[in-house]
Chain A
Amino acid sequence: MSDRTILLVDNEPVYLQLAQEYLERHGYRVICAADAVTARQILLETAVDVAIIDIRLLDDTDERDREGLHLAMDTMWGRYVPKIMLTRHESVANAVEALRPLHSGQAPAVNFIMKHEGFPALLTAVEGALHVDVVKLRRFLYLHFNYSELRDLCFDFQVDFDTLAGDNKRDKVRELVAYFERRGRVRHLLINSRRRRPQAPW
């Protein structure tokens, strides 16, 4: 059983039930919500690893209904949870809006899945969203970079090392990873740091 928790948000009870059963069969703990208010509450109070959110949460027949997108755009006071947008209705505009980085640099969602692509596609998207193990990344940076090298890494990303909170290396590393997580760019940090230490064990 995975220790990962998925929040699944959809106003279609049948889809909600089937998707929940499928994801639970694949080892995830799944919390369901049928509306944005409940989902927002869960996101604020529960440790969710990834959220799957249907774009239309109010009325499936209303193409102006983008309640799910609005939920995904909510910054939740800086609590970063990767989100996968789900929809039954093909729309370039919705795909773009879900995946285009906002002015913060972070996109509302990390992936966009059509319901007709099936549950395996949804599962693949979940695995993709969870792909970067930040605990491992923090450990990797802590073990294989000294203070000066961390400073260089920050410099390359135009991050001011001195403004990262913390007085010791462990704190600085934690803040650095959190900084990239908040921007949905932790994969870039992972790629760059591993590129600098190709021989170091991951």
Chain B
Amino acid sequence: MDQNCRILLVTNNPASAWVKAVTRILTQMGEICLVSAQDAAAACQEGCYDLALMDTSALAEDAADLVAELADCQDNLPIVVVTTSPTWQRAREVFLAGATDYVRRTFDEEKLRQLCQSAITRRKAVVRPNDSLGG
């Protein structure tokens, strides 16, 4: 597993039990940068991240708008949207805006790790230049 990832954790609820748990778990994968939704785009422009994890609880902004904003800031940034109450409409909105995944909030350590690792791996697959140029 990649131990040197830079993960942008976007949340307006930094004191929540989930954010604390996620921070603890993902610290093992690398550096976690915790930012509010309002500061997310600026943080993304300043630094290059391997993953953005977006907590939609207590989000005043529209999640899809925020996803689009982050996707614009950094090409190929995997953006995983985490929600407590998933709907197909919201799933469609965030994917069309550029999200990499849309998942129900979980405290399961292994699931969280796999989720992040999978999103990062997909990103690496996307930017690999030689995989199908000749085909």
Contact = CB atoms under 8 A, between A and B. Distances in A.
A157 B88 contact: no
A112 B101 CA distance: 15
B48 to A, nearest CB: 11
A161 to B, nearest CB: 9
Contacts of A99: 91-92, 95-96
Interface stretch (A6-14, A42-50, A87-95, A136-144): A87-95
B102 A112 contact: no
Contact of A163 (B76, B123, B129): B129
A27 interface: no
B75 interface: yes
A95 B133 contact: no
Contact of B125 (A100, A103, A175): A103
Given A102-B122, A158-B127, A188 B88 contact: no
Given A99-B91, A103-B122, A183-B126, A92 B96 contact: no
Nearest to B72: A191
Contacts of A92: 86-88, 91
A95 B135 contact: no
Interface residues of B, number: 26
B75 A157 contact: yes
Nearest to B91: A95
Nearest to B130: A163
Nearest to A90: B88
Contacts of B88: 90-92, 94-95, 112, 114
Contacts of A134: none
Contacts of A78: 132, 135
B100 A96 contact: no
Contacts of A156: 75
Contacts of A165: 133-134
Contacts of B135: 78
A160 B127 CA distance: 10
Contacts of B87: 92
Which 4 A-B pairs have CB atoms at the shortest separation, nearest pair first? A105-B126, A99-B95, A160-B129, A95-B88
Given A95-B92, A96-B95, 4 more contacts: A92-B87, A179-B132, A182-B132, A185-B126
24 contacts: A78-B132, A90-B88, A95-B92, A95-B95, A96-B101, A99-B91, A99-B95, A101-B122, A103-B125, A104-B126, A105-B122, A105-B123, A111-B92, A112-B88, A112-B95, A156-B75, A157-B127, A158-B76, A158-B129, A160-B129, A163-B133, A165-B133, A175-B133, A191-B72
Interface of B: 72, 75-76, 86-88, 91-92, 95-96, 100-103, 121-123, 125-127, 129-130, 132-135
